[in-house]
Structure 1
Amino acid sequence: MDMGSGWIICLVLSTTALAAPRETVEGFVNDMLKIPCNYNVQNGTYFMCWRRGGCGLMACYDPILTTDYDKVTWRKSDRYQLLGDISQGDVSLTISGATKKDEGTYCCRVEITGPFNDQIKDFEVVIQEENPVTAGHHPKGTEEDMYSMIDDCPDDTD
């Protein structure tokens, strides 16, 4: 192995070692799922992207959503949204109507000017079948029950 190849291998290994550990985000089928991602905008806003799969070494390829500084410029599906304040660095990805097919690795990449300056974060998304809080929750009662609850309300007309 020549000297140049050795440097490239060291660079790849050191860059990989500096990557933040993968965070797990859990959600439920049919719910909205938020994958958190924020960056400091003190020096301005940047191009950023979300993609399925881990973050690559350089640049964003095969994205599912991209921004150009303070607005979304492209998304693969209307289910992918950024609902936070992009101008304040909140680029958290919201997936509406989550399905089991949404499980897997996601990458948030903020492309900061300069070599190897990008902020990257990998997430592992796990989707469970039903939200136990709302699963099978179908309020029951009669019209009479409803009126009896209304009768129990305080009267503000005094």
Structure 2
Amino acid sequence: MVITAARGRVALATGPQVRGYLGQAITLPCHYSVRTYGKTAMCWGRGQCPTFGCGSELINTNGVTVTSVGSEKYQLGGNIEQGDVSLTIKQLRKEDGGWYCCRVQFSGPFNDGKVNMNFLVLDEITTPNPSTTNESVHAQDANSVTASTFVGQTKSSNYDVF
């Protein structure tokens, strides 16, 4: 089931399987409740979430602003101060596919919120010429992206992951 379709050249991932297309951008969702947990540090990394930190760290925040970023390819486009720490990866290449980790650092030992996401970068989908086929492909369907599997502490309501 597709929950959210691509919007322009940026897709929002929101289901059990994540797919992105060469040359596009994809946004991997990660939200937490600032009202419940307060503004808190977080990071995104390549690979599944390790015991501590984010492994191969891509970007991190202090709960208010981005404090480091490994490349201009990665950005947090949401409102960090309101708990939207979704990661946008621009200009997808095949090697961008794989596991990503979002870790929100809640207080207390072994209390962090973790989301592991795996996605595949596919070749660009082209729409067939309607004059040569009886099938029609809608742009919304051709660019759909479904989201990831949430692992670890998750409390979902209104797109909150934690």
Task: Tell me the TM-score range normalised by the shorter chain.
Answer: 0.5 to 0.7
Alignment of 1:56-135 (within 5 A): 56-132=50-126
Cα shift readout 1:99-139 (whole Å, capped 9, x = no counterpart): 10101000000011101110001000111110335x99xxx
Q: Which runs of 4+ in 1 moved over 3 A?
A: none
Aligned to 1:35: 28
Contact 1:29/1:131 (8 A) holds in 2: no
Shift of 1:62: 2.8
- Superposition map of 1:142-153 within 5 A: none
Distance in 2 between the 1:132 and 1:113 partners?
47
Structure 1 pair 30/120, CA: closer, same or farther in 2 (3 Å)? same
Please identify which structure carries the higher helix content.
1
* Aligned residue in 1 for 2:19: 26
Say if 1:65 and 1:76, in contact at 8 Å, map to a contact too: yes
| Secondary structure in 2 matching 1:57 | coil
Paired AA for residue 31 in structure 1:
Q
Q: TM-score, normalised by structure 2?
A: 0.65
Gaps of 5+ in 1: 1-21, 137-158
CA contact (8 A) 2:105 2:113 kept: yes
State the shift of 1:23 in Å: 4.7
TM-score (norm 1): 0.67
Is the 8 Å Cα contact of residues 23 and 122 (structure 1) preserved in structure 2?
no
Gaps of 5+ in 2: 1-14, 130-162
1:24 CA drift (Å): 3.1
Structure 2 distance, partners of 1:31, 1:84, is 18
Identify the structure with bigger relative contact order (alpha carbons < 8 Å, sequence gap 6+). Answer: 2
Deviation at 1:44, TM superposition (A): 1.1
Checking the alignment, whether the CA contact within 8 Å between 2:31 and 2:86 is kept in structure 1 is: yes
State the AA in 1 paired with 2:79: D
The answer on 1:50 being equivalent to 2:25 is: no
- The aligned amino acid for 1:79 is K
Instruction: Work out the number of aligned pairs and report it.
Output: 114
Distance 1:23 1:55 in 2: 18
